[in-house]
Copies of this chain bind each other. A is one copy, B any other.
């Protein structure tokens, strides 16, 4: 396919250059806003070229780093390549790359872990400094200069709007049928000029299908032909299926009690194997005519759209396995009628999440007996990925589930601990905790009532006696009994793991 089929505006075609030439236009110290959300729609060539340039400069003893902002996680060709050469000074708002993680946890790279709904507006407000360059993958350029978005929207609207200079990657492996699937809302503003966001249903379109782009800022157009990360998820295992089973049983009960409509409320589902298992369970389950208002569409949601269980899905990105991508490509006309891809400030907007009454389902690393949830840190100090959108959905949703297997590392780690080693979701924001052992419905309970329930329902039987013992001794320790703790022991399970490789005593 010739680039002119994708780039239908002559002035854009005049700015075509190689990735290396484009990367050379990014100055040291720049804040660069790149596209990309959960391994979809990220630029594939310029970051690699920039990494090569940085490596060469570093070899000559010249310092070169950028501030790297994205939608969310990207791929080895972006985060991995730039982290490996030490090219990132500060990373926001979410990452899940092994090389990034290693550098951050080695103290060689800064990372600020931000709610995904906050990122765009903090840039509009000027809170994070100037955005110098946008590097955005698109599926094409219209004759009038508007852009056909790629497989994710993320913060692209904001990057194109706020950056001084724009580099576009036109990826001819992105399906041209994506055109029309996006809904870019241009009604946002800064206070005091904000208006209500006019959406009352998860599938409602309130914007336009294209990204606006100021041609005078476009300094490079790079032609690529490379597929997204397209990670394969593991088939649901027994533990994930048990977690899914508890959630579906609970939802059935809520419907029966009149606390949820028969077709539930819009579903939000985090990424990963447990989430896919829940979706698989819902696809076999009793609910019909469901909707989704979420960040990421992964395989499970495509299955549900195809089966008809899911009537529509709103997200900001796709994150598909190769097999699912094949199906998506083949049936893109079907999916285009049922999927809306939005900017992440809309997909995760507190106003909309609360109005629509989203059911939030997110994985976690650990919860403590009082219902405080750690989504981000290993043993209190090392970042795993980031909070992502879990806070946007958990705080504002109608119902909020946090899910984890009860143990990790072959049973060495209890995911229910006396005190969370880092708190991302406080006791005020956590309604339901689920492990393969069972489900703890924390609504309306005090901390000690929650503790008893979480230990009984969610903790692994191997760890229950020690948790009960902790709670009992904390209650009789002479400290306050609202949230009883033994301060010298509260984090001792984590310390034991650090020292001995297991939390078991």
Contact = CB atoms under 8 A, between A and B. Distances in A.
Interface of A: 90, 92, 104-107, 110-115, 118, 122, 125-129, 190-192, 194-198, 200-201, 257-259, 261, 265-266, 350-351, 354-357, 372, 377-383, 387, 391, 395-396, 398, 421-429, 431, 443-446, 448-449, 474-475, 479-485, 487-488, 490-492, 494-495, 498
B494 A491 contact: no
A105 B350 contact: no
A85 to B, nearest CB: 20
Contact of A482 (B197, B381, B431): B381
Contacts of A118: 428
A391 B430 CA distance: 14
Contacts of A194: 200, 354-357
Contacts of A266: 192
Given A128-B444, A350-B396, A381-B479, 14 more contacts: A90-B444, A105-B480, A105-B481, A107-B484, A125-B398, A127-B259, A195-B355, A196-B200, A351-B351, A380-B485, A381-B483, A383-B480, A426-B426, A479-B498
B259 A125 contact: yes
8 contacts: A105-B480, A113-B427, A127-B259, A381-B485, A383-B483, A421-B485, A421-B487, A488-B492
Contact of A196 (B105, B111, B198): B198
A111 B398 contact: no
Contacts of A492: 487-488
A191 B449 contact: no
Nearest to A126: B259
Given A110-B446, A191-B355, A192-B201, A483 B377 contact: yes
Q: Is the interface of A mostly helix, strand, loop or mixed?
A: loop
A446 B423 CA distance: 16
A498 B494 contact: no
Residue of A356, A372, A381 contacting most chain B CB atoms (<10 Å):
A381
A378 B107 contact: no
Contacts of A396: 350
B380 A487 contact: yes
Contact of A357 (B90, B192, B198, B257): B192
B350 A490 contact: no
B495 A488 contact: yes
Given A112-B445, A423-B372, A398 B191 contact: yes
A198 B200 CA distance: 13
Given A125-B398, A128-B443, A424-B428, A475 B107 contact: yes
A494 B490 CA distance: 12
Given A381-B479, A382-B480, A112 B444 contact: yes
A113 B355 CA distance: 23
A369 to B, nearest CB: 13
Contacts of A424: 426, 428
A118 B394 CA distance: 12
A265 B191 contact: yes
9 closest cross-chain pairs (CB), A and B: A191-B357, A382-B480, A107-B481, A196-B196, A381-B480, A423-B423, A110-B446, A381-B479, A383-B482
